[in-house]
Amino acid sequence: MSSSNASSSSRGAILLVGGMGTRLQPLTLQTPKPMLPVAGVPFTEHQIIKAREAGIKEIVLATSFKAELFEPYFGDGERFGISIKYAVEKEPLGTGGAIANAAKSLTQAGPIAIFNGDVLSGHDLNAQFEFHEKNRAEVTLYLTKVADARAFGAVELTADFQVTAFNEKMENPPTNTINAGCYIFNREVINQIPTGQVVSVERETFPGLLKQGARVFGFVDSSYWLDIGTPAALLKASQDLLSGLAKSAATPSHSSDFLALPGAKIDATANVTGNSVIGADAIVGQGARITGCVVNDGAIIGPDAILSNTFVAAGFEVPGGVIAEGSYLGY
Ligand code: GTP
């Protein structure tokens, strides 16, 4: 099989957003990970805008856990300048099964970008598409280097970036180049994934393609990359987007040190720093000190509270004088 050498006008995308987000509990008990706010908007919005900027016209959200929470916010995508569809799995189909299921809703014929719903990256998606087309690849994986690859899929390459081995989560990975969670697949490859059953793209599809001798390439990139799957990483993502270390056109405009969403009221004697987010209609009381926090919509921070690197649930009232570091309040 060879690439269709498609122009950007026929590019589609699938966003894998059906996981349970267990590592992010308790934050994910009510809200699926991709809908958690990061720098003031649901994380998925950053990825949708990134897809739009790479010329993608149509995106399918592959949902399962708390599937009903996506459509009321994203609708048909008109507000975001891209067509958005939904492929709901009654029972989660795994990453590969989700791709096969969601692809049925895509009308675009060209190569398909597939995003893990929990990766914040600065890589150039358009350049990844061009690399895919130039190499006449069937699949192109975005790869990055990390200090410790044990928790990821370690990917081995030839000198011309052809993938030779895919080692999912192992104790002694042979390389620190890892699967960074954004793939380009030709439609013909997706058509080979069995439908209606649980399939892991990492454990079954990739190793299977290598066995068949398929043209699988690695697009190695060293720009910003973060798996937002833990609470500490989620906070870091929000802070990095506000500080400018990570870039996303979906980040609302903000002051140099924090983001206050519409209706937020911060007392003149309070001190908000460290790239915190103060949600819509939230109130920060007299003398409170907030640093590096995510205070969600409608929360109330009592006078003289001192919070750092802490999540405050929507609508929760933090009593005056509370001191918290690295906590979850109201979940
Ligand atoms: P943890 O439980 O904390 O590991 O998080 P997770 O449930 O998100 O799992 P993981 O990080 O392994 O998933 C990677 C990406 O694939 C995430 O964006 C998930 O939302 C998504 N995902 C995982 N399994 C499924 C599935 O069965 N169906 C769909 N549609 N998406 C999935």
Burial (Cβ within 10 Å: 0-12, 13-18, ≥19) of residue 299 = buried
For ligand 1, the distance from its centroid to the CA atom of residue 266, given in whole angstroms, is: 36
In which band, very low, low, confident or very high, does the pLDDT at 10 lie, cut at 50, 70 and 90? confident
pLDDT at 3: 38
For ligand 1, the distance from its centroid to the CA atom of residue 22, given in whole angstroms, is: 9
Contact by Cβ (8 Å): 149, 178: yes
What would the mean pLDDT of 271-291 be, rounded to a whole number?
A: 98
Atom of ligand 1 nearest to the CA of 102: 30
Mind listing the pLDDT tens digit for each residue in 148-168?
999 999 999 999 999 999 998
What would the mean pLDDT of 282-299 be, rounded to a whole number?
A: 98
Q: Residue 317 — φ and ψ, nearest 5°?
A: -110, 115
pLDDT of 6 over the 70 cut? no
Contact by Cβ (8 Å): 303, 286: yes
pLDDT at 116: 97
For ligand 1, the distance from its centroid to the CA atom of residue 286, given in whole angstroms, is: 41
For ligand 1, the distance from its centroid to the CA atom of residue 20, given in whole angstroms, is: 6
pLDDT at 5: 41
Q: Which residues of 156-171 are buried (b: 16+ CB within 10 A; e: fewer)?
A: bbeeebebeebbbeee
In which band, very low, low, confident or very high, does the pLDDT at 9 lie, cut at 50, 70 and 90? low
Nearest CA to ligand 1 atom 14: 116
pLDDT at 256: 82
pLDDT at 8: 62
pLDDT of 54 over the 90 cut? yes
Atom of ligand 1 nearest to the CA of 101: 30
How many angstroms separate the CA atoms of 260 and 40, rounded?
8
Nearest CA to ligand 1 atom 15: 116
Ligand 1 site residues, Cβ closer than 6 angstroms = 16-24, 33, 62, 64, 89, 92-95, 98, 116-118, 229
Atom of ligand 1 nearest to the CA of 24: 3
In which band, very low, low, confident or very high, does the pLDDT at 7 lie, cut at 50, 70 and 90? low
Contacts of 6 (CB under 8 A, 6+ apart): 109, 110, 111, 133
Tell me the chain's radius of gyration from C-alpha atoms: 21
How far is the first Cα of the chain from the last one, in angstroms, to the nearest whole number?
50
DSSP conformation class of 44: H
Q: 50, 80, 70: which is closest to 225 by C-alpha? A: 50
For ligand 1, the distance from its centroid to the CA atom of residue 118, given in whole angstroms, is: 8
Contact by Cβ (8 Å): 118, 230: no
Q: Ligand 1, from 16, 168, 179, 200: best to mutate by most atoms within 8 Å of Cβ? A: 16
For ligand 1, the distance from its centroid to the CA atom of residue 273, given in whole angstroms, is: 32
Residue 55's CB is within 10 A of a number of other CB atoms, namely 15
pLDDT at 304: 98
pLDDT at 86: 98
**pTM score of the predicted model:** 0.94
Contacts of 68 (CB under 8 A, 6+ apart): none
Q: Ligand 1, from 33, 69, 203: best to mutate by most atoms within 8 Å of Cβ? A: 33
Tokens of 92: 């989660």
In which band, very low, low, confident or very high, does the pLDDT at 48 lie, cut at 50, 70 and 90? very high
Contact by Cβ (8 Å): 44, 35: yes
Atom of ligand 1 nearest to the CA of 17: 20
Q: Ligand 1, from 69, 85, 116, 119: best to mutate by most atoms within 8 Å of Cβ? A: 116
What would the mean pLDDT of 209-238 be, rounded to a whole number?
A: 97
Q: 132, 192, 143: which is closest to 7 by C-alpha? A: 132
pLDDT at 2: 36
118 SS3 class: coil
pLDDT at 93: 97
What are the structural domains of the chain? 3-231 (3.90.550.10), 253-329 (2.160.10.10)
How many angstroms separate the CA atoms of 199 and 119, rounded?
21
